[in-house]
Structure 1
Amino acid sequence: MDVVSYRTLEPFTTKDGSTIREYLHTPAQSLAEATLAPGQSTERHYHAVSEEIYLLVEGGGTMELDGASREVREGDAVLIPPGAWHEITAGPEGVRLLCCCVPPYSHDDTYFA
């Protein structure tokens, strides 16, 4: 049984600029927690292969997906299909979200304009 504790996870910065702690990374999927400080944005990017789901667990901000923007907040889930350009900008309280990627997150599958 794989059980991972938040207290043991080392944060690192992804290519898009968010700070994440990766809970689990298997050949099939990955689950990580990302945080952005108030006003901080990820760099607009896409993943050619991975589908992502963002689940906001604290705070909120503005989510842009393929040119459409909307406010998102704690409790919202966002589906990001492969190939969809996306960016999230934290609101005044910052944002903390869980990111599930299938197949798992890879720096090599992160593309910028």
Structure 2
Amino acid sequence: MKRTEYSQVDPFTTKDGSTIRELMHPNVGGSQKQSLAEATVPVGCKTLEHRHHESEEIYHITIGSGLMTLGNEVFGVSAGDTILIDPGVAHKIENNGAEDMKILCCCSPAYSHEDTELLE
């Protein structure tokens, strides 16, 4: 069985500035082709605009609300919303709500710093 325990996964900061916990990743838990992480964006903060050249990414907002920039679009997001981010598309997210925003981030292939290009 391949699994992780939340309390045993240490958070770290990604290139875009968000704090994440890799819940499942080839380096954590043993997945082969994808990763699942929980990102936290504190109140009043935002990630740096970036893109992934290889990875398709899915954001699922579990707690909080904010503004998502996806390519040339800017739109509100809140708990329960799910956003598909195609490879190569610039994106960032801002927490303009009253509580820390929590996002489940699924990447296929798995997230890597090397696949992340900062745009600001």
Report if TM-score (shorter chain) is over 0.5. yes
The runs of 5 or more residues in structure 2 that have no matched partner are: 27-31
| 1:17 maps to 2:17 | yes
RMSD: 0.8
| Normalised TM-score (structure 2) | 0.91
For 1:34 and 1:65, how far apart are their aligned partners in 2? 17
Of 41, 45, 60, which residue of structure 2 is paired with 1:40?
A: 45
C-alpha distance in structure 2 between counterparts of 1:109 and 1:3, whole Å: 25
- The structural deviation recorded for 1:112 is 1.8
Aligned-residue offset at 1:49: 0.4
Could you tell me which of 60, 66, 76 is aligned with 2:81?
76
Q: What number of residue pairs does the alignment pair up?
A: 113
Kept in 1, the 8 Å contact 2:35–2:110? The answer is yes
Residue 94 of structure 1 deviates from its aligned partner by 2.6
Residue 30 of structure 1 and its aligned partner are, at CA, apart by 0.3
The amino acid across from 1:17 in the alignment is: G
What's the counterpart of residue 112 of structure 1?
A: 118
Q: Counterpart of 1:54?
A: 59
Alignment match, 1:29:
34
Distance 1:17 1:69 in 2: 19
Compute the TM-score of the two structures, normalised by the length of structure 1: 0.97
CA contact (8 A) 2:35 2:106 kept: yes
Measured in 2, the distance between the counterparts of 1:25 and 1:32 equals 8
Aligned residues of 1:51 and 1:82 also touching (Cα < 8 A): yes
Query: Over residues 65-89 of structure 1, what are the superposed CA-to-partner deviations in whole Å (9 max), with x where a residue is unaligned?
Result: 0010100000000000000000000
Aligned to 2:96, what secondary structure does the other structure show?
strand
The structure 1 segments of at least 4 consecutive aligned residues displaced by more than 4 Å after TM superposition are: none
Among the aligned pairs, what percent are the same residue? 49
CA offset at residue 39 of structure 1? 1.2
> What 5-or-longer segments of structure 1 have no aligned partner?
none
